[in-house]
Amino acid sequence: MNLASPNSVALRRAHFLLLAFFFTTLLLGILADNRWIFGPAITEDGDFAANSLLVTEAKHLSLVTGNYSKFHFNHPGPFYLYVQAAGEAFFHDLLGITKSPYQAQLLAIFILNAASYTIALYLLFIAAGWRSLTPLLLGWSAFLATAHSATPAPILGWASISSTWMPCMYVASFALFLTSAFAFARGISWSTPLVLFSGGALVHGHVSFAAIVPALAGYAMFERFLHTRAAQTPLLPARREILTSLFILMFFLAPIVYHTLAHYPGEFGHYLSYKAPEIPERGLIGAFRFALRFLGWDSLFFGAIFMIMAVALRATWRKGDNLAPWLRILCAAFFIAFLYAWKSIDSYADDYTLQYLSVIPMFLVASIVARIADRATSEVSWSTWALAIPVALLFASLGNPYRGSEEVAAGTQQLRAMSKTIGTGKAIGLDFEQQDWPYAIGLLATAKREHLPVCSSNPEWSFIATIAMTCQHQPGSIAIVAIASGGKRTLVEKGLHK
């Protein structure tokens, strides 16, 4: 059975069933480790609340920019926020299967990530040309089982598959982008739309990918040129594939172009004026060591295993080996990220900046396991190995530890009561210090969702609070964030303005 050429009805059916099995099993594994999303309502704060402010706009189809940056601009596009908005509208507003909008947003991201990883691993093994489905199953199992140990930042864990924090959401999309680029380089049909879809999602999520994605896609094009010249196959995809790809490209470009033309130069003025601050660690060695951390290099054990596997995999190369371009693409991805760390990253103290690179060692583990399985096993029924997937999920940590903020939930109750004491047409101005911004933004997000007359009284926070939730006129009342006895944040009403 040739996995790379599913040209029979029976084999295509087997592929479809396998994809459905992967997706369903992974999604159920995520849901099992995050059962709390179907439990009592939680109220988000911090970055999650900042995203919710934008998600509310997306539900009204008025959002054309992405999430906020600490440099007081917005990232290029709203793709991930519209996914969350769709989840909130469907799972909370329509079906009511979650108790809070944020839990519905999470469920939508679970589905997106499960689908991204399912397609990513399938593309990897299609492009690698394994003899049977067994290597795919065992490679998938290895990928999942190493998920927790391959993540360099313990505070994140493998919650990158089950979190709505933006650095976590890039990981699944980057995995899909890497394998799509590999499939494209190998001339696999219909890989071009997936390259543009995953690349477009990444660019929408963070402006750095506006340089990283084209650079890596360009390298994949070079690999495709080498492959087509050797195999005597067409360089360009089929006409229908090109048209579909153009449609996807237009889909991702549309909000960026619209916002830029409507508010010229839009966010691009901020992007072009950005200059990376000088930091002591910056330099070739500092950037290289920083990027290596995201390959698990801080762990001596995992670093040693990584090197052993790389050498073992390299030793299996032969002329025409499909894994050779795959390893070159992984190296190119790391090299481009290293250049970004060298020239643009503002701090080497953050353990999340290059979080998406954590899929590289996971892919390497999956590749070596699949290579061994391809050489060692015969073309037996793949269903024999299907149990390896749920077993691997037992070793993977898919839980998201975030449970919202009880302080914000209590503060929202205060705002509801305060809103009844002010006059018609007046608003409550929220006044807060820098250390209290996660709490305050959480209050603003719930206030916007419930249509409470609340706004941020400090215009300096409009880059997170949004212009719409920043007071445009003198509010009718001021609510100050204060620390109550016991160390909990609460609201104190300062007084009324006539």
pLDDT per position as a tens digit, 132-164? 777 777 787 778 777 654 344 333 344 578 889
Specify the 3-state DSSP secondary structure of 274.
coil
The neighbour count for residue 103, using CB atoms within 10 Å, is 24
What integer pLDDT is reported at residue 154 of this predicted model? Answer: 37
Q: Which residues fall within 8 angstroms of residue 109, CB to CB, at 6 or more apart?
A: 80, 83, 84, 87, 162, 163, 164, 169
Name the average pLDDT for the chain. Answer: 86
- Please give the share of the chain, as a percent, with pLDDT higher than 70: 86
Specify the 3-state DSSP secondary structure of 486.
coil
β-pairing, 477-483 with 489-496? antiparallel
Looking at the DSSP assignment, which residues form a beta bridge with residue 477?
Answer: 428, 496
Q: Write the pLDDT tens digit of every residue in 300-350.
A: 555 665 666 566 656 555 656 778 889 889 989 999 999 999 999 988 888
Q: How far is CA 358 from the centre of its chain?
A: 12
Alpha-carbon span 424 to 417, nearest angstrom: 14
Mean pLDDT of 424-453: 93
pLDDT level of residue 179 (50, 70, 90 thresholds) = very high
Q: Write the pLDDT tens digit of every residue in 12-65.
A: 787 788 889 889 988 998 998 899 999 999 999 999 999 999 999 999 999 999
Alpha-carbon span 67 to 209, nearest angstrom: 14
Alpha-carbon span 47 to 402, nearest angstrom: 12
Residue type present at position 310? A
Alpha-carbon span 471 to 462, nearest angstrom: 9
Mean pLDDT of 105-122: 94
Mean pLDDT of 177-195: 95
Q: According to DSSP H, which parts of 34-78 are helical?
A: 46-59
Lowest mean pLDDT among 98-102, 105-109, 194-198, 276-280: 276-280
The CATH topology of domain 406-496 is: Rossmann fold (3.40.50)
What integer pLDDT is reported at residue 295 of this predicted model? Answer: 79
- Please give the share of the chain, as a percent, with pLDDT higher than 90: 53
Task: Output 155 or 483, whichever has higher pLDDT.
Answer: 483
C-alpha distances in Å from residue 276, one per residue of 212, 271, 273, 285, 340: 16, 11, 10, 17, 10
Looking at the DSSP assignment, which residues form a beta bridge with residue 136?
Answer: none
What's the token pair of residue 179? 């394998």
* 383: pLDDT strictly greater than 60: no
What integer pLDDT is reported at residue 401 of this predicted model? Answer: 86
The neighbour count for residue 314, using CB atoms within 10 Å, is 11
Alpha-carbon span 45 to 489, nearest angstrom: 13
Query: SS3 letters for 58-117?
Result: HHCCCCCCCCECCCCCECCCCHHHHHHHHHHHHHHHHCCCCCCHHHHHHHHHHHHHHHHH
Q: Where in the chain is the domain with CATH 3.40.50?
A: 406-496
